[in-house]
Structures are given as C-alpha cells and as structure tokens.
Amino acid sequence: MTVNQKRCMLTHGHTSISLQRQCQLIGLSRSTAYYKAHRNPVTSVYNRHLIQIMDELYTAHPHLGREGMTRALRRKGYPVNSKRVRRLMKEMGLESVYPKPGKKLSLGNKKHKKYPYLLRDISINKPDHVWCADITYIRLSHGHVYLVAIMDWYSRYVVHWELSNSLEDTFCVTALRTALQKGRKPEIFNTDQGSQFTGNSFTEVLHEHKIRISMDGRGRALDNVMVERLWRTLKYEDIYLREYSDPLELRKGISAYMKYYNTERPHSSLKSHTPEEVYKVFLCVN
C-alpha cells in the first residue's frame, strides 16, 4: 500500500480513534499524516469552489475540454483563464479520464505501449465478453479522492471499485486483481490510454490471465460511455446529495450505493432488470 493510499484511510477528528493511533495501525508516520502543501488560503478556497463547479459541469457534459470548460465557467460568472482551468482539470484527472477528439491525453505516457481498439463493429451480447474501467474525481468537504470502477459492458455490473487520493496506478491494479479473484474474467478489457491503464503493472495482470487488451483511440470520446453513465448516476443520486466529509465516510457511502446499483436499481437498457440479474443469471437484453 502506498503512502498516499494510507493517508486516504485517515480520518481527522475521529471521535474514538486518535490520529496518532490511526497512524500506528496502518504504519504511517505522524509527520506524513499532518503534512499539507502550502497554499494561499484565499486562492485555495476559490479553487475548491471552482473544482466543485467544474465537477458538476463535467459530470453533466463529459465532452468538455479545457476551452469548453473555460467558456462554461465564464458563462456562469467566473472570470477564469484557460491556464487555471487546465491546472485544475489536471489536478482532477479529467484529461486522463475522457479522451478528447484530436488532443493528446495529458496523463498518458509516451513510453507505455498503446494497444489497438478491438471493439469496432463487434456485437457484445453476453456477460464477460468485455470489461471496461475508468477513473473519476470525487470531491469531499475538505479535499478529494479518485474512484476507479471495473464494469462488465453487457450487464453494466460493477465487478469491483477502489479509492485513492492520488492518480498513481496502484489502486487501479488492486481493483483489477481483486475483480479477477472473484472467479470470472473477460475476453477483452477496454480502457482509455491513461497511464494508469497503459503501464506494465496493469497490462501484465491482463497478460497473466490471457485477456485481450483494447484501448480507445483518439477521437473516440464515447467508447467508455457505460462507465461515464455510472459516474453521472453515482454523483447525482448519491455524492452530490450527501456531500461526504472524509474518505472513510465516502467509502461506506459508495459501498452502499454500488450494492444498490448492482442489485436493486433497474435499468431501462436492461429491460428493467438489475445489473446483477443480467450478469449472474445471463438474461438476454438485446
């Protein structure tokens, strides 16, 4: 477990477990737990507010790039420049999450191998034919984390998810290994070209299980539309309503919502069945 992942587990101001004791339990130094980057408090408050607005804009309109986001913010009365928007979008991981037509992915890595897109003109008509993965930014009352989800394309079933307070690839690899430990695997695994998915740590797990790798090409912004719809649903039905204050509270909330999403929430695209019904019983929805 990385230092950032350990820090993500801490709950400042916990009523029964002191921060010192939390550090002892997870093997983290207190100095690391208390470290905060030095920022201008006024600017930080304004940036946090901008990030909140940008998160809502991007969830509603995932096609927005830097210039589109800048225009949208200005129309809402925020006199921002594109330089600030680019910096905040990079911090939120938005450029790595959704490919933009004709633009390079800001968090891609040129040294990593890029795999061809395998889903063109194929019919995905059964569970475990294709799995996909994506990352989204989740805001908290004081800070933020990133959420990765692995989903079965056919049934929309969320196989596994993980949280992290950084965009290092560790939490994506952990999510993948845990998903595969549940006894099922896909024929094809599709992602964007973000460095979390193109790195050797992630692709080697897929090779170990003899899973074909597919990656979205430039200009294919809707290839991961299944997970994008999950993000929109999760945020509007849970995250924005509850305004979670810390990672521990968020983890509990997401766990409860994902269970509801998989087992109780019917989908019109699944003929009013739940993802679990389609994934585990293999109901035909085409």
Reported as a single tens digit per residue, the pLDDT across 234-283 is 999 999 888 898 999 999 999 999 999 999 999 988 989 999 999 998 76
Q: Work out how many domains the chain is built from and give that number.
A: 3
Among 110-119, 173-182, 253-262, the least confident range: 110-119
Residues 52 and 26 in one domain: no
In terms of pLDDT, which residue wins out, 66 or 213?
A: 213
Residues 143 and 270 in one domain: yes
Does residue 122 lie within any of the structural domains? no
E strand or H helix at 214, and its extent?
strand 212-215
Q: How many angstroms separate the CA atoms of 158 and 152, rounded?
A: 7
Phi then psi for residue 183, to 5 deg, are 100, 0
Number of Cβ within 10 Å of residue 151's Cβ equals: 25
Residues 75 and 179 in one domain: no
Q: How many angstroms separate the CA atoms of 272 and 145, rounded?
A: 32
Q: Which residues touch 11 (CB under 8 Å, ≥6 apart)?
A: 17, 22, 246, 247, 248, 249
CATH number for position 163: 3.30.420.10
In terms of pLDDT, which residue wins out, 181 or 89?
A: 181
**Angle formed at CA 166 by CA 154 and CA 23, multiple of 5 degrees:** 120
Residue range of the domain that includes 49: 41-92
Sign of the Cα pseudo-torsion (200, 203, 209, 212, in order)? negative
Residues 74 and 155 in one domain: no
pLDDT at position 194 over 60? yes
Number of Cβ within 10 Å of residue 122's Cβ equals: 11
Residue 281 has what pLDDT?
Answer: 85
Residues 139 and 226 in one domain: yes
Residues 150 and 9 in one domain: no
Confidence of residue 146 (pLDDT cuts 50, 70, 90): very high
The percent of residues in the chain predicted with pLDDT above 90, rounded, is 46
Residues 222 and 267 in one domain: yes
Does residue 272 lie within any of the structural domains? yes
Residue 80 has what pLDDT?
Answer: 92
Q: Are 143 and 265 in contact (CB under 8 A)?
A: no
Q: Where are the beta strands (DSSP E) in 48-171?
A: 130-140, 143-152, 158-164
Q: Are 161 and 203 in contact (CB under 8 A)?
A: no
Q: Which residues touch 243 (CB under 8 Å, ≥6 apart)?
A: 141
Does residue 265 lie within any of the structural domains? yes
Tokens 């090409």 found at: 217
pLDDT at position 115 over 50? yes
Among 62-71, 105-114, 230-239, the least confident range: 105-114
Q: Are 73 and 54 in contact (CB under 8 A)?
A: yes
E strand or H helix at 235, and its extent?
none
Residues 85 and 158 in one domain: no
Q: How many angstroms separate the CA atoms of 65 and 209, rounded?
A: 35
Does residue 108 lie within any of the structural domains? no
Q: Which residues touch 140 (CB under 8 Å, ≥6 apart)?
A: 244, 245, 246, 247, 250
Among 191-195, 230-234, 247-251, the least confident range: 191-195
Residues 241 and 135 in one domain: yes
Residues 173 and 269 in one domain: yes
Region 27-55 average pLDDT? 69
Average pLDDT, the chain: 83
Region 28-40 average pLDDT? 57
Does residue 117 lie within any of the structural domains? no
Residue 286 has what pLDDT?
Answer: 59
Q: Are 230 and 135 in contact (CB under 8 A)?
A: no
Q: Are 134 and 227 in contact (CB under 8 A)?
A: yes
Does residue 118 lie within any of the structural domains? no
Does residue 68 lie within any of the structural domains? yes
Residues 23 and 137 in one domain: no
Residues 203 and 163 in one domain: yes
Region 166-178 average pLDDT? 95
Does residue 166 lie within any of the structural domains? yes
